[in-house]
Amino acid sequence: MTSTPARLLIIGPQGSGKGTQGARIAQALGIPAVSTGDVFRANVSEGTELGLKVKAIIDAGDLVPDELTSEIVRDRLTQTDAAAGFLLDGYPRNLGQVRDLDAFLESRGEPLTAVIELTVPREESISRLSVRAAEQGRADDNAESIAKRLSIYESETAPILDVYRDRGIVDGVDGVGSFDEITERIAAALEARGITA
Ligand code: ADP
């Protein structure tokens, strides 16, 4: 049996656990997890030129400009470890980024093969983020930034799901449960598409 290449996107509101689940799934499939938020945070903490450029934007809960974000993702996906597949987390986040990503992947003849939508009720997201704020002290996990990011998610990110739904590649996964249960649900959805380790 030939398996379907794992060119994946995980999408869900802040606090849905997509970072954790994305990393687990990527590891199980032997592909890199590419999180734009992680890339930006690493650059901020290392004080790189990129980090200096994006720090204020991230702390305020605003989106980094599309051209910059898309360029970073293209660079990352061109690296050899992403040749057999990848899992995107946090990108694309709006329709402009969907267009950028489509142009890049179509030029390589390698479209996304599955989009996992992690669903979590808003109140649950907010309470998980308050816990994360207390535990990790992320500068953007303050009430104002959280509210802004959730509303950007609802207005800009949710519509991109419609684009991918039209392509028949979206699997909705209930994001409430234990870490293991949720990983199992995602793995089962991918397996149904022929995406296996
Ligand atoms: P969260 O999902 O909790 O907002 P992320 O780690 O995904 O956390 O992103 C943190 C911040 O990094 C975002 O609020 C935004 O400023 C920036 N960022 C991450 N991904 C993108 C993206 N695709 N486009 C623009 N900005 C992004």
DSSP conformation letters of 94-123: SHHHHHHHHHHHHHTT----EEEEEE--HH
Q: What predicted TM-score, i.e. pTM, was given to this entire model?
A: 0.91
Which is the closest atom of ligand 1 to the Cα of 15?
Answer: 3
**133 in any annotated domain:** yes
Domain that holds residue 20: 6-192
As a whole number of Å, the end-to-end CA separation of the chain is 12
Q: Give backbone dihedrals phi and psi of 118, rounded to 5 degrees, phi first.
A: -90, 120
- 160 inside domain: yes
pLDDT at position 145 is 86
Task: Let me know if residue 1 belongs to a domain.
Answer: no
Nearest CA to ligand 1 atom 10: 37
Mutate to test the pocket of ligand 1, among 11, 18, 35, 64 (most ligand atoms within 8 A of CB): 64
Which tokens is 184 given?
């199992």
Kindly report the CATH number assigned to the domain that includes residue 123.
3.40.50.300
Answer yes or no: is 197 within a domain.
no
pLDDT digits 0-9 by tens, 33-52: 999 999 999 999 999 999 99
pLDDT lower than 50: segments of the chain: none
pLDDT tens digits, 91-128: 999 999 999 999 999 999 999 999 999 999 988 988 88
Tally of structural domains, the chain = 1
Report the distance separating Cα 82 and Cα 26, nearest Å. 11
The reply to whether ligand 1 has any atom less than 6 angstroms from the CB of 76 is no
Under 8 Å between Cβ of 164 and 158 = no
Are 64 and 97 a contacting pair, CB within 8 Å? no
Ligand 1 lined by 69 (C-beta under 6 Å): yes
Paired sense of beta strands 85-89 and 6-11, if any: parallel
Residue 72 lies in a domain: yes
